[in-house]
Amino acid sequence: MANQRLRNKTIVITGASGGLGEQIAFSSAKNGANVILLARNIKRLEGIKQEIEENYKVQCDVHYLDVSNHEQVSKVFQRITEENGDIDVLVNNAGYGIFEEAHTVSIEHIKGMFDVNVLGLMACTKEVMPQMRKKRYGHIINIASQAGKMATPKSSIYAATKHAVLGYSNSIRMELSLFDVFVTTVNPGPIATNFFSIADQSGTYVKNVERFMLNPEKLANQIVDSMLTNKREINAPKWMNAGSIIYTLFPRLVERVGRKAFFKK
């Protein structure tokens, strides 16, 4: 059943050139929303735009955006507002990870992950908060990770960025609740996308978790179904989130029992 709340609404999606972001774009358009797609791969965005406009009677605009370039973020969002009006839903999906042990990961990669996963997300969010507060309407959806709830070996930096996203989201959720603006965090486990072509170049992690990987289309549909509702979190898969809850309650026990499995990256 279509999400009637989205008809003719404007949804902005960062990191929309592939994977989960691309699937969120298709699902949003299928539900009657006008979508604005942001990413660095403008050629890929143009292809998605063509496919959306051919299959759905909605407007689709694309813009080149490197979310780590904060000056560029401001200019792109200003242009969107001028051309499309107010943004109803922002999906902060842009992000990446590199799985290495903490003592080997380079400062360049550390800075890069924080610039994109944390500071880029905050920069995009800051652009939409004033208009949403003024209008007393809107929804910010931040794609975090189960890694933000339970860190494991070889993901120290990536997990740290996602912990930051959850902390930021939890804070602004309370701030924006006074203005009827919703904030949702999405905390998935591993998703079957090209994320791991960068994160796991050895292929070891993918080989070990392949059978547990989430379908990006199904997760995207779940996210889109929640748009413009006061949904606090989306956690998937449920069994992995249960593990995160148990970890919060009994961290020492989980680290001891799960040590062998955690190192399978």
Contact 42, 66 (CB under 8 A): no
Q: Alpha helices of 91-215 — where are they, by DSSP H?
A: 107-114, 121-135, 156-177, 195-199, 204-209
Q: What is the largest CA-CA distance in the chain?
A: 55
Residues sharing a CB contact under 8 Å with residue 255, sequence separation 6 or more, in sequence order: 247, 262
Structure tokens at 252: 């020492």
- The catalytically annotated residue of 56, 64, 137, 158 is 158
Quick check: is 158 catalytic? yes
Query: Residue 152 and residue 200: Cα distance in Å, rounded?
Result: 14
Residues sharing a CB contact under 8 Å with residue 33, sequence separation 6 or more, in sequence order: 6, 7, 8, 9, 10, 11, 58, 88, 89
Active-site residue list: 158
